[in-house]
Amino acid sequence: MNTILITGASSGYGLETAKQFLANGWNVIATMRKPDEHALPKSESLRIVPLDVTSDESIAAAVEAAGPIDVLVNNAGIGVVGAFEVTPLDYIRRVFDTNTFGVMAMCQAVIPQMRERRSGTIVNVTSSVTLAPQPLAAAYAASKHAIEGFTESLVAELAYFNVQAKLVEPGYAPTTQFSHNAVISPLELIPHQYEGFAAPIFRDFGSPRLTTKESDVAEAVWDAVHDATDQLRFPAGADAVELFDARFA
């Protein structure tokens, strides 16, 4: 039975992805900063492991506890919404620590065992902000664009060892807004000079024409893991698919 390790599995995309793979007979290692035994249904195929992707010690302990990992899904992330000029650099560094360096650290921790076995798949969850420019998301977009370029290089670097790297690009999800895990409220990062610009954007976010469901992301991860072609990008959600088609068609 294959084993998948998912970061940020306490809620949202990570939680739904864990449910999807559990339901399909996989061993699931659901990692969380604050383990919640009630987040997922009890199963002999499930282990909940504490993990902070910004801590080298936490990563090492989680990977050791996991044992052999066939698939790594880097889903953990935090958001930041607001005018870039007033976004504190200390917070931007926190965003990069999780969204960018946390992903890289997890890859470094897991690649050696995949390389030795000459098998495995890494799925990095980014965002539709990498598919089209989106205002008031500059720092967040930068953290996700970095992982897109990183993953493109990994594809070529790991193919020699028969290890795959894939991208899943979720769109906007009202139930799991990418600012949900933000420490700073978007309202704190909209100075009065930006109010006229920001108001219609937030209004559109409240009633988007196309949105992404958590199940869309879980299905995209499933498709990426089982893909037998060289496809790199898997847009998740109707809005992300529309942006993807506009960019790559």
Whether residue 151 is predicted with pLDDT greater than 90 in this model: the reply is: yes
pLDDT digits (tens, 9 = 90+) for 183-229: 677 778 888 898 898 888 877 765 667 889 999 999 999 999 999 99
122 close to 78: Cβ distance less than 8 angstroms: no
For residue 249, what pLDDT band results from cuts at 50, 70 and 90?
Answer: confident
CATH of the domain at 114: 3.40.50.720
In the three-class reduction of DSSP (H, G, I as helix; E, B as strand; rest coil), residue 242 is classed as helix
- What is the per-residue pLDDT for 105? 98
How far apart (Å, rounded) are the C-alpha atoms in residues 166 and 104?
Answer: 14
50 close to 62: Cβ distance less than 8 angstroms: yes
Whether residue 175 is predicted with pLDDT greater than 70 in this model: the reply is: no
- What is the per-residue pLDDT for 203? 76
Whether residue 174 is predicted with pLDDT greater than 90 in this model: the reply is: no
Mean pLDDT of 37-63: 96
| Residues belonging to the chain | 249
31, 61, 119, 196 from 78: Cα distances, Å: 15, 22, 30, 26
Phi-psi region of 118 (alpha: psi -120 to 50; beta: other; left: phi over 0): left
Residues above pLDDT 70, as percent of the chain: 94
Strand order of the β-sheet with 164-170 is 46-50, 27-32, 3-6, 71-74, 121-125, 164-170, 233-236
- What is the per-residue pLDDT for 177? 45
The range of the structural domain enclosing residue 170 comes to: 3-248
Q: What is the mean pLDDT of the chain?
A: 93
Q: Which residue has the higher pLDDT, 222 or 179?
A: 222
With residues binned 3-state (H G I as helix, E B as strand, rest as coil), the percentages for the chain, rounded to 5, are 50, 15, 35
pLDDT digits (tens, 9 = 90+) for 84-133: 999 999 999 999 999 999 999 999 999 999 999 999 999 999 999 999 99
Catalytic residue set = 140
Mean pLDDT of 48-76: 98
Tokens of 98: 């999780």
pLDDT digits (tens, 9 = 90+) for 9-40: 999 999 999 999 999 999 999 999 999 888 89
Q: How far apart are the first and last CA of the chain?
A: 37
Q: How many domains does the chain have?
A: 1
